[in-house]
Structure 1
Amino acid sequence: MSKLHTTPVPLDLNTGRRRFGFPVPIFCGNTKQPNQVCDSWAEFYANERLLAILATIEERSDPDTGLLYTSSGEGKDIVPFAVQGDLSSGNADWGRTIGSGGDEIPEDVVYDPSACYGHNEYNLMIHLFGSRSFDQYHWIVPKTEPVAEYADRVELYEL
């Protein structure tokens, strides 16, 4: 996962910048996630994840206008990386890839993605690999500043 989260996403052809989102809509289970490309992580997470999920909930039940609020955080310093988006024990396993020389390489594999270009910490919400793995992960990929708010961000991404 740290390899994925240290590989820059492609530059947007229209703007020449790295942006948050994904070129196509995807699903997380049976919930459609539109993935409209955005300039900031805060805008993408609010509109393309939280509000999109809220809209789906409202379509399937009654609206709850008390859930809406305006966020003051913009996440300006967050850099987009490819994230799996639904990293749970049911979506990870041990497998083999075939190298260019035909050799089989055993490695961890993840599948059934709810992928987007987003904040690398978004993938850490599930706590799939345990705290020791997080320590090793953060040795390669440091926690985003402000570090004091890391636990709050993980809780936010659990929504």
Structure 2
Amino acid sequence: MPVPTVRKARADAPPGFFEAEAAGLRWLADAGGARVARVIDVAPGSIVLERIEPARPAPEAARRFGRDLARTHAAGAAAFGAPPDGFTGQLFIGRRPMPTASERSWGAFYARDRVLPFLPIARRAGFLTAAQEAEVRQACDLIAAGGFDDDEPPARIHGDLWNGNVLWSPDGVALIDPAAHGAHRETDLAMLALFGCPHLQLVFDAYDRTAPLRDGWRERIPLHQLHPLAVHAAGHGASYGDALFRAARAVLILAS
């Protein structure tokens, strides 16, 4: 029986856009953890994926998702900022280019490549004030200096894990539209917390039982939300600039 599929296409897709999505999905699938939509075909300007049948979010599916996400993260990556294995093209988050890196320090990578690139865009758009940008840059200075580095290895993260990319099906959760790369595992959890997810506490509890999180991870959620908030401040309005500023202030308080 043919696999039900969905085709996504963009006439204005930048070079490698859907190829990056396909590489991320396959890399996440190779981890053997959280289910992802299977790539059926990819070509310049389009991608064909397995169609995920919808279902109501269920508690047991949430628990399984938490366990499986922990296993995906544990599959690891070559470095902080590393692209999917074997992929040498441009990465994207949404429609925006996202740098790759090969860093041993999470903080150096995160500040330089996941937060700072989006600040000038947000300023030009009028969604971030000069005073707010200064506060975010101060927080990034602390992060880049290693103030929040730990001994966590680079995790294999989805990278854009908001609720819209978490599909609930009769077979449990399936993930779509990754910005997959090597990073800190807490970043995926922080994005789930930022935009909400059904049965979120069950997801977190199951994750923590499978791969215990470091003390204080909840207090570090604003730290790991700087990246998605910076991306959104670049194109989705001043409310995200305000939220980015508040997260940066929370990071500065945490550091003190």
Q: Same fold (TM over 0.5)?
A: yes
Give 1:108 shift. 2.4
CA offsets 1:57-101 (integer angstroms, 9 cap, x no match) = 2343477251322214151412101101111221121459xxxxx
Does the Cα contact within 8 Å between 2:79 and 2:101 map onto a contact in 1?
no
Match of 1:7 in 2: 75
Rg bigger for which structure? 2
CA change 1:95–1:22 in 2 (3 A) is farther
TM-score normalized with structure 2 length: 0.49
Aligned to 1:20: 80
Tell me whether 1:90 sits opposite 2:161 in the alignment: no
CA distance in 2, matches of 1:91, 1:37: 26
SS in structure 1 opposite 2:167? strand
Once residues 121 and 100 of structure 2 are traced to their aligned partners in structure 1, the CA distance between those partners, rounded to angstroms, is 14
Amino acid at match of 2:71: K
CA distance in 2, matches of 1:156, 1:34: 19
Deviation at 1:56, TM superposition (A): 2.7
Determine whether 1:113 maps to 2:183: no
Higher helix share: 2
CA deviations over 1:86-143 (Å, ceiling 9, x no partner)? 11221121459xxxxxxxxx44211111221011111001232511221111011111
For the Cα contact (< 8 Å) 2:153–2:184, is it kept in 1? Answer: yes
Q: Alignment RMSD, CA only?
A: 2.3
Compute the displacement of 1:46 (Å).
0.6
* CA distance 1:78–1:55, shift in 2 (3 Å): farther
Unaligned segments of structure 1, at least 5 residues: 10-17, 97-105
The answer to whether the 8 A contact 1:31-1:53 is kept is no
CA distance in 1, matches of 2:189, 2:168: 19
1:131 and 2:201 aligned: yes
Structure 2's unaligned 5+ residue stretches are 1-68, 84-88, 227-256
Question: Offset of 1:43 from its aligned partner?
Answer: 1.0
Amino acid at match of 1:78: E
**Which residue is 1:100 aligned to?**
none
Asked if 1 retains the 8 angstrom alpha-carbon contact of 2:154 and 2:184, the reply is: yes
Q: For the residues of structure 2 that align with 1:81 and 1:143, how far apart are their CA atoms? A: 13
What residue number does 2:108 align with? Answer: 43
What percent identity do the matched residue pairs reach? 27
SS at match of 1:86: coil
Partner of 2:22: none
In structure 1, the residue corresponding to 2:92 is in which secondary structure?
strand
Report the counterpart of residue 187 of structure 2 in structure 1.
122
Counterpart amino acid of 2:220? R
Partner of 1:143: 213
**Are positions 1:66 and 2:98 aligned together?**
no
> Where has structure 1 moved over 3 Å in runs of 4 or more?
58-63
Contact preservation (8 Å) 2:72, 2:157? yes
